[in-house]
């Protein structure tokens, strides 16, 4: 009869325990590293909001997941910028929205929009589909707004800003652009910024970015068609220069990705 050596059995289980212990320690170290990075990112964003007097304004600074915000900058190669948030984001402040994102790090507001949380789905669907057509992933795209204060609509924004702690639309623009350059851009390593609001006769995402960071650059139009108006310029931040493509607001206009590619190629 075959007899199993008890020493061999004990050695076998000891080795299994050692391997399991090593794997657990490795996973714990990875988890601790991710947690620390998320805490650091939360601190950077919250302190940035406070420094730019944006913490207590109603809004949501980012529509991407917090997990992405805390990831390495090299993963975040595309930033998509709208004008400002809608009244749907009026139930919390910018600071509260960041804390909510930290507590639910995999939640993506853009994904929620494709599932009907924004009502009509076409804006969220377009925000999600454009990155892939340009060689990016929507999951790795930072979605934000030029002005970090929500309002019922663009026309009511000036009055809302005047009645808020920020005091005026001009100050909201100054502080929001400062936050974009000092906080949002350094979290990323952008190869392209798409501003999906590009009117030049009134405030728009593209016009605000051009005025703040264009350094005298003039917009170069790829199309001046009323529906597909598309132009490009180079934004010159403290850290680096980034091509910006301005297109019509995607809540009302379907983007032409080929025009975006042509504009991007002009400034690469």
Q: What is the pLDDT of residues 185-211, one digit of tens each?
A: 999 999 999 999 999 999 999 999 999
User: Does residue 21 have a pLDDT over 80?
Assistant: no
Q: What is the pLDDT of residues 207-226, one digit of tens each?
A: 999 999 998 888 999 999 99
**Contact call for residues 146 and 209 (beta carbons, < 8 A):** yes
Whole-number Å distance between alpha carbons of 19 and 233: 55
**Contact call for residues 94 and 61 (beta carbons, < 8 A):** yes
187: in domain: yes
Per the structure, the count of domains in the chain is: 1
Sort strands 230-236 and 241-247 into parallel, antiparallel or unpaired: antiparallel
19: in domain: no
22: in domain: no
DSSP secondary structure code for residue 79 in this structure: E
Q: What is the pLDDT of residues 69-107, one digit of tens each?
A: 999 999 999 999 999 988 888 899 999 999 999 999 999
Tell me what pLDDT residue 154 has: 75
The boundaries of the domain holding residue 111 are: 34-267
8: in domain: no
Identify the CA nearest to 199 among candidates 181, 182, 219. Answer: 219
Sort strands 230-236 and 220-223 into parallel, antiparallel or unpaired: antiparallel
176: in domain: yes
- Which residues in 142-156 are b (16+ Cβ under 10 Å) and which e? bbbbbbbbbbeebee
Whole-number Å distance between alpha carbons of 221 and 102: 39
- Please give the biggest Cα pair distance in the chain: 94
Average pLDDT over residues 132-161: 94
> Phi-psi bin for 216: left (phi > 0), alpha (psi -120 to 50), beta?
left
Give the three-state DSSP class for 63. Answer: coil
2: in domain: no
User: Does residue 26 have a pLDDT over 80?
Assistant: no
205: in domain: yes
6: in domain: no
Q: State how far the alpha carbon of 20 is from the alpha carbons of 7, 10, 17, 159, 186, in Å.
A: 20, 15, 5, 61, 39
Tell me what pLDDT residue 67 has: 97
The pLDDT confidence band at residue 14, using thresholds 50, 70 and 90, is low
């Amino acid at each position: 009869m075959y007899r199993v050596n008890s020493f061999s059995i004990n050695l076998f289980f000891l080795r299994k325990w050692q391997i399991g212990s090593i794997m657990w320690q490795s996973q714990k170290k990875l988890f601790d590293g991710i947690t620390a990075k998320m805490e650091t990112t939360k601190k950077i964003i919250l302190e940035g909001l406070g420094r730019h007097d944006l913490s207590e304004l109603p809004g949501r600074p980012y529509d991407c997941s917090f997990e992405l915000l805390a990831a390495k900058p090299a993963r975040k190669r595309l930033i998509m910028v709208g004008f400002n948030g809608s009244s749907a984001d009026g139930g919390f402040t910018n600071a509260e929205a960041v804390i909510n994102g930290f507590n639910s790090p995999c939640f993506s507001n853009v994904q929620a929009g494709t599932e009907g949380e924004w009502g009509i789905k076409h804006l969220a669907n377009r925000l999600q589909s454009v990155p892939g057509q340009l060689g990016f992933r929507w999951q790795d795209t930072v979605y934000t707004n030029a002005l970090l204060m929500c309002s019922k609509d663009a026309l009511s924004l000036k009055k809302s800003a005047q009645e808020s702690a920020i005091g005026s639309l001009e100050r909201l623009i100054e502080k929001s652009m400062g936050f974009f350059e000092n906080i949002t851009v350094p979290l990323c390593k952008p190869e392209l910024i798409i501003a999906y609001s590009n009117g030049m006769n009134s405030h728009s995402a593209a016009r605000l970015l051009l005025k703040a960071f264009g350094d005298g650059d003039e917009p170069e139009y790829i199309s001046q068609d009323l529906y597909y108006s598309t132009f490009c310029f180079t934004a010159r931040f403290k850290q680096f220069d980034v091509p910006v493509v301005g297109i019509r607001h995607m809540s009302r206009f379907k983007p032409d990705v080929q025009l975006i590619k042509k504009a991007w190629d002009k400034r690469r």
